[in-house]
Chain A
Amino acid sequence: MGLLSLLRKLRPNPDKEARILLLGLDNAGKTTILKQLASEDITTVTPTAGFNIKSVAADGFKLNVWDIGGQWKIRPYWKNYFANTDVLIYVIDCTDRTRLSEAGSELFEMLLDNRLKQVPLLVFANKQDLPEAMSASEVAEAMGLVRLEERSWEIKACTAVDGTGLKEGMDWVCKNMKK
C-alpha cells in the first residue's frame, strides 16, 4: 500500500483535487520521494529533465504531485508551476553542506512570489541514513526558517530511499492543506 493511499483516510473533504509542488536543488531526492509516494521502484531513477507528475485518485480524492527538475538551468522555470499550489514541499540534501546556502536562497527567493503567499511549506531534511547528514534542526537553523512568520511551515527529517519519515511529512501536508 502506498503512502498516498494513507492520505485518503486522513483527508476530511475528498472532493477536492490538491496540487502539491515538489522542489529543491538537483540531487536532493525529489524524484525518489515522488516514486516512494506512488509505491514505485526507486532503484532506476534518473536526473529529471523537465518535470515528473504523478496523481493518485481514490474515493474521489486526487493528489497531483509535481516534481520539477532541480538543476540550475531548469530553476528559472519553477515559477511557471506556482499557480494554484496547495502545498509546497522543499527537499534538502542534508549531506550537501556546501550548497545549503544556495538551497536556502532559492527557497526564500521563491517564497517572495505572490502566488505562493500563504501556501504551507514542508521542508524534507532528506538523506538522514547517511552518517555525514545534518539533522533537521541544524538545517532549519542554518537556513533561518524561523524567519517565516506568517506562513505555516514544518521541517521533517526523512530518508527517501527507504521511505522513513515520508508518512509523517505527508500527514502534516494533509492537515495543513491550504483551504
Chain B
Amino acid sequence: MFLLDKILPFIFGYIRPFIKWFLHVFTRLSELQRICYGAKAGASRTRQVERSLQLSKHPDIKCLLLELDQAAPYADDAELLYFAQRATHVIGKVKKIKPNVHPDFGRIFGNCITAIYGYKRLMHTAEQLRAEKYDAENPEHEQKLLQLWRLLMPEEPLTARITKQWQDIGFQGDDPKTDFRGMGMLGLENLLYFARVYNDAAKHVLLHSKHPTLGYTFAIVGINLTSMAFKFLKTGAVKTHFYNQAATYKQHYSTLEDFHKLYCYLFFEFDRFWMESDPRDIMDFREIYQAFEISKLEALHKDSTLFVTNLVVESV
C-alpha cells in the first residue's frame, strides 16, 4: 500500500515532464492542446484540462490559477466569461500557441475554463445558502416556508403557523423551523424549487410518500437528499454531470438553478428507487438511501453520464 500511495505519485511527478516533452516534440502540440483536440467534449475533456492545469509547475500558470480561484466565488456572469480570455491569453504565452495557427484552441480551451470556474462558483453559492440557518424571525424565510405549503397542498390551507399539518408534507413535528438543520436554506430552496418548477412531479412524489405501508416523510427525506446533492457537489463527483451538461447544451457554466434541477432529479429517482426496494418501513431508510447513493456515484464514474432532469409524470 505504501508503494502505491507514496512512491508511485512521487516517481510519476518526476517522469511526467519527460513524457510531456517527448510527446511535445513528436506531436508539436502542448499537453493542453492534445487534450483539447483529442478528448471528447464534456466531462472527459474538461476534467483532463483541469488536471493538467493543476499539475503544472510553471509559475505563470500557478499564478493564474491562484488568481482565478480567488476571484471565482464572487464573479458575476460577465466576469466569469472573461476568465476564459484571461486563461487562454496566459496559456498561449506560456505554451507559445499562436491564435492564427491554432484558431480552435482558444474557443475549446476557453469553454473548459468557463465550465471549471462556473462549477467552483456554484460550490461557493450552494455553501453560502447551506450555511444560512433557517430563521423563523426572518420574514423572507417564513414566506418561503408558507409558499412551500401552498404549492404542495393548494386545496388545504394551513390553520395556523404552528400546527400538526406540517407532518402531512413530511416535517417532523408542528414547526418545521428546526428540521432544516445543517442544510439550512439550501434545504428549503431545493424543496421549494421542486414544488414550484416540477409541481406535478413533486405532488406525485408527495402522494407516494403518503402510502400507508411504503410511505416515508417527504420533507425530511428531501432534506437528506439535499445533503446527498451537496456532498456530490463538494466532492466533485457531480462534475461529470455538470461538465457534460455545459458541453451538450452549450450553456457555458452551471448555476444554482442547475443544482436545483439535479436535486429534483435525485428526489424523483429516489422515490422510484424506494418504491422498487419494497421497504418494510421507514427504518429501512438508511440502507436504501446508501444503496441509492452508490448507484448514482457509479453512474457519475462514467465519463458520459448526464442526468436527464426533465421529469415527466405519466398521468393515469
Task: State how many angstroms separate the Cβ of B243 from the closest Cβ of chain A.
Answer: 24
The main secondary structure of chain B at its interface with chain A is helix
Tell me the chain B residues, 236-250 only, with Cβ under 8 Å from chain A.
none
Q: How far is the CA of A74 from the CA of B286 in the complex (A)?
A: 13
**For B227, what are the chain A residues with a Cβ–Cβ distance below 8 Å?**
44, 46
Nearest A residue to B131 via CB reads A43
Inter-chain contacts of A45 with B (CB < 8 A): 181-182
B284 proximal to A (CB < 8 A):
yes
The answer, among B172, B226, B281, B289, for a CB contact under 8 Å with A72, is B172
Q: Do B282 and A49 touch across chains, with their CB atoms under 8 A apart?
A: yes
A84 to chain B, nearest CB (A): 17
Tell me, rounded to whole Å, the shortest Cβ–Cβ distance linking B125 to chain A: 16
Interface centre among A27, A45, A49, A71 (most CB of B within 10 A): A49
Complex: how many Å from CA A45 to CA B180? 9
Does B217 belong to the interface (CB within 8 Å)? yes
Contact A71 B183 (CB under 8 A): no
Give the complex CA separation of A90 and B51 in angstroms.
48
Known: A26-B172, A26-B173. A44 touches B130 (CB 8 A): yes
- Identify the closest chain B residue to A43 (Cβ): B182
Query: Which of A46, A51, A80 is close to B181, meaning CB atoms less than 8 Å apart?
Result: A46
Contact, CB under 8 Å: B182 / A51: no
Given A43-B182, A46-B183, are A80 and B217 also a contact pair (CB < 8 Å)? no
Q: Is the CB of B173 within 8 A of A72?
A: yes
User: Chain A at the B interface: mostly helix, strand, loop or mixed?
Assistant: loop
Known: A44-B130, A46-B223, A49-B221. Is A72-B181 also a contact (CB below 8 A)?
Answer: no
Question: Chain B CB within 10 Å — which of A44, A50, A53, A72 has the most?
Answer: A50
Q: A47 touching B283 by the CB < 8 A rule?
A: no
Shortest CB–CB separation between residue A10 and chain B, in angstroms?
A: 29
- A26, A44, A73: the one within 8 Å of B182 (CB): A44
- Tell me the B residues contacting A by CB distance below 8 Å: 130, 167, 172-173, 178-179, 181-183, 187, 216-217, 220-221, 223-224, 226-227, 230-231, 281-286, 289
Residues of A within 8 A of B (CB): 26-27, 42-47, 49-53, 69-74, 77, 80
The list of the 5 closest CB pairs from A to B, nearest first, reads: A50-B285, A71-B172, A44-B182, A49-B285, A27-B178
